Structure 1
Amino acid sequence: MKLNKDEIGRRYGRALFEFASEQAQQKAILDELVAIEQIYEQVPDLGNILTDARLSSLEKQSLLDLIQKNASSIMQHFLQLLFDYRRLDCLSAIKDFYQTLYDQADSIYDATVTSAIDLNTRQKNLLMQAIAQQFGAKKVRLEIQINPEIMGGLIIRVGDQIIDGSVASRLKKMSQALLNS
């Protein structure tokens, strides 16, 4: 059975995170993964080039050596492992899952807030504090989305939890209640 990139990302990301944790290098390895992902963004097909048949093994190894040049020994060994198992095309999925594990371990939460209007800095700070308190987070990364259709209030999404305090949602509930009575 062939694994998809997300499953590969979870397996390798977890293994790398556990090893980095044993070495007390979680943040340093995350920083290296982010830097390598930036290289992948500059050369969008790099992962495929390093895994498919376009280049010889020697040419691919030379490219990998350039990527590994300034990496820590942990990252050098990890990249070589990915190369040997032809998994370098999954680096983005690995980094994403590693980031998820890092955030969980460090109590960092991502929250998406939908508002009818833009929020000022004070409102954003109060919202981050409230979300941190509600979810027990040390830090909250906030993404604001503007959607005038919600009319007012907020819709807050943290992970798979949604708190819908929008005016549009309240009106819809009131309308349904009136129709059902």
Structure 2
Amino acid sequence: MKEGGVKGEILERYAQALLSLAQDNNILDQVGNDVNSILGVLKESPDLQEFLDNPLIKPADKKAVMNRILGDSVHPYTRNFIQVLVDRRRIMFLEGICKEFQALLRKLNQTVLAEVTSARELTDDQKNSLREKVLAMTGARQVELETHIDPELIGGVVIRIGSQVIDASLRGQLRRLSLRLNTVA
């Protein structure tokens, strides 16, 4: 999730601060869940991101909206952290900070993120099988699967782990076969 330049430094600095706060207070799991919830809310509502990005909206209004949306579902430290972001005019980086926090937490927990794209929804057995294969490949302690659906794949899966891509899709196999046939002809 690394971003370049000043933005990347901001994301990393604030994510690291939140991680340290959570570690120091033994609330790492709670804050991790809070961050996941916040990302879910931001993903579901592009209007909320626009609202937070708008410099013409007063900080007090941004705080009020975030408090209403999150309510008591997040830890008070997480709520305070968001208010600090508003006060320091960094709230527009909330999504990036949350993603950077997730990356830092994965590294701390020796967890890898495997992005899996398939033609249709995977069953629980298929997800567990993929987790086991990724664990064997990476040597990580845990695997976090992020699944996407792409009907153009026809069948199979494409797995992305960091910069490594494993294309086990039918489309990928057909493409490789086509390349081999073209080099023979």
* TM-score, normalized by the shorter chain, greater than 0.5: yes
Distance 1:161 1:18 in 2: 30
Structure 1 vs Structure 2 CA RMSD: 3.5
Between structures 1 and 2, the one with greater helix share = 2
Distance 1:113 1:58 in 2: 40
Equivalent residue number for residue 93 of structure 1: 96
Aligned length: 173
Residues 127 and 39 (structure 1 numbering): CA distance in 2 closer, same or farther, change over 3 Å? closer
Deviation readout 1:39-82 (Å, 9 max, x if unpaired): 55555133135xx2333x55556556657863534224422321
Structure 1, unpaired ranges of 5+: none
1:175 aligned onto 2:181: yes
Equivalent residue number for residue 46 of structure 1: 51
Residues 22 and 91 (structure 1 numbering): CA distance in 2 closer, same or farther, change over 3 Å? same
Query: Letter of the aligned partner of 1:139 in structure 2?
Result: V
The alpha carbon displacement at 1:10 in A equals 2.4
Contact 1:108 / 1:141 at 8 angstroms: preserved in 2? no
Distance 1:59 1:112 in 2: 36
How does the TM-score come out when normalised to structure 2? 0.69
Equivalent residue number for residue 28 of structure 2: 26
Deviation readout 1:87-130 (Å, 9 max, x if unpaired): 11211111111112112222333323445677554444322211
Contact 2:114 / 2:144 at 8 angstroms: preserved in 1? yes
How does the TM-score come out when normalised to structure 1? 0.70
2:110 to 107, 110, 128: 107
Contact 1:114 / 1:146 at 8 angstroms: preserved in 2? yes
1:135 to 138, 149, 163: 138
Structure 2, unpaired ranges of 5+: none
1:14 aligned onto 2:16: yes
Distance 1:64 1:153 in 2: 40
The alpha carbon displacement at 1:161 in A equals 0.5
Contact 1:117 / 1:148 at 8 angstroms: preserved in 2? no
Equivalent residue number for residue 85 of structure 2: 82
- Counting aligned pairs with the same residue, the percent is 25
* 3-state SS in 1 of match to 2:89: coil
Query: Letter of the aligned partner of 1:174 in structure 2?
Result: R
Contact 1:111 / 1:157 at 8 angstroms: preserved in 2? yes
Larger radius of gyration: 1
Residues 131 and 95 (structure 1 numbering): CA distance in 2 closer, same or farther, change over 3 Å? same
* Greater alpha carbon shift after TM alignment, 109-118 vs 159-168: 109-118
* 3-state SS in 2 of match to 1:30: helix
Deviation readout 1:128-152 (Å, 9 max, x if unpaired): 2111211123234152544555x76
